Amino acid sequence: MSEFDASRRRVLKTGAIAGAGVALPTIFTASSAAAFTNEPTGGTVTLGFNVPQTGPYADEGADELRAYELAVEHLNGGGDGGMMNTFSSKALQGSGILGKQVEYVTGDTQTKSDAARASAKSMIEKDGAVMITGGSSSGVAIAVQGLCQEAGVIFMAGLTHSNDTTGKDKKANGFRHFFNGYMSGAALAPVLKNLYGTDRTAYHLTADYTWGWTQEESIAAATEALGWNTVNKVRTPLAATDFSSYIAPVLNSGADVLVLNHYGGNMVNSLTNAVQFGLRDKVVNGKNFEIVVPLYSRLMAKGAGANVKGIHGSTNWHWTLQDEGSKAFVKSFGTKYGFPPSQAAHTTYCQTLLYADAVERAGTFNPCGVVEALEGFEFDGLGNGKTLYRAEDHQCFKDVLVVRGKENPTSEFDLLEVVEVTPRAQVEYAPDHPMFAGGQLGSCNPGA
């Protein structure tokens, strides 16, 4: 149980994991007396936290769950309130959501789309969850977002970086606070130009699913616009743990930059293999060989250890930011858990508050009311500066951070340093940008 008064919040457990790999029918029903799916009728409301508790992104999932617990604590009036005190919207009062105490159920996505859908389906049908959130894989996020659209509940995406989540696979019932591959490219390219010049040859290793594909596309386009040449793009299985066979060909490719479109445990292992092969000590084409990790996290840096020193990438948020919202969140999280939060924790905490705030402002749990409250919503005080939830695609636009591995870290948490805060205007794009083309947002589905 959490540290706050257990009488104020009851934690439910979901049986979503058993048989999670089996494809299940997605037929949802709503009570004939309800205006929408899982309308709360008593004194509580249930949220579904669907995260990878096993698999290559399990470290991210563990931190997401910590943040979700903290958000529920704050919503129910426990703790110090965290970012509820700095959030520009003042609708949340620590009295639950619309006066109902917040409960939650959890599930394990296993970093697999089928398992994640089965878990979310169980939360909705068996546990009465009115909102689903979580995930550290874009494949999972897209699968669950589609299911929530069918079910008539809101999906507040967790850590998902693929362009497709708010591009060709966007849904009216889904919202993303996290940034995306295009934004990483827009933020990183000018920094890479200043560091390494315009005459570079890049070799991409890419996780073989929707995130990797769109991350690769985004970084290749951004660097080729600088004058870089892309010599090869190689896809790697998400389940891979040894990348030696993929690193070896880089040595004879003529490349002088390796771009690792990997995340979580994949990045830890591929970067470790690259260092073991001596890539960071080589001189190719008269230039020092460089490695770039487009999407970074503190948890990845911790796993990779000294190998991350001097390596650049982008991140959605970092615990060393000095704005009032970030400081409040770091204080709350650190007091509860004894260490600073990751970007995954920050994202899921924000998504929980944003959902609750939208319900309060709309005066209803009806997903269509929530959609209306979030579309075009501008806010501040949650880190990353002034933020917009764009109506056209439900993508958040905010400042993006470029970071690098610290040469002389002072602790196991002080592993990355922010080298540039890229302003929101630099990473914005038109809703019909080619990288986000296809698919329709559609209309909100209340499920009834």
**pLDDT tens column, 259-279:** 999 998 899 999 999 999 999
Q: Do 357 and 365 meet the contact criterion of CB atoms below 8 Å apart?
A: no
Backbone angles phi, psi at 150, to 5 degrees: -65, -35
Indicate the helix (H) or strand (E) that contains 157: strand 154-157
State the amino acid at position 203 in one-letter form.
Answer: Y
CB atoms within 10 A of CB 211: 30
Q: Which two tokens stand for residue 236?
A: 């790697």
- Estimate the crossing angle of helix 343-362 against helix 58-75, to 10 degrees: 40
- The predicted-structure confidence for 280-302, as pLDDT tens digits, reads as follows 999 999 999 999 999 998 888 99
Reduced DSSP (H G I as helix, E B as strand, rest coil) percent helix, strand, coil of the chain, to 5 = 40, 20, 40
pLDDT in tens, 391-447: 999 999 999 999 999 999 998 899 999 999 999 999 999 999 999 999 999 999 999
Burial track 98-137 (b if 16+ CB lie within 10 A, e otherwise): eebbbbbbbbbbbbbbbbbbbbbbbbbbebbbbbbbbbbb
Tokens of 161: 């970086």
Question: Which 8-state DSSP code applies to residue 81?
Answer: -
Q: Are strands 174-176 and 154-157 parallel, antiparallel or unpaired?
A: parallel
Average pLDDT over residues 357-368: 98
Q: What is the C-alpha separation between 434 and 151, in angstroms, rounded? A: 29
Mean of the per-residue pLDDT values for the chain?
A: 91
Q: Which pLDDT score, from 0 to 100, does residue 142 have? A: 96
The model's pTM: 0.91
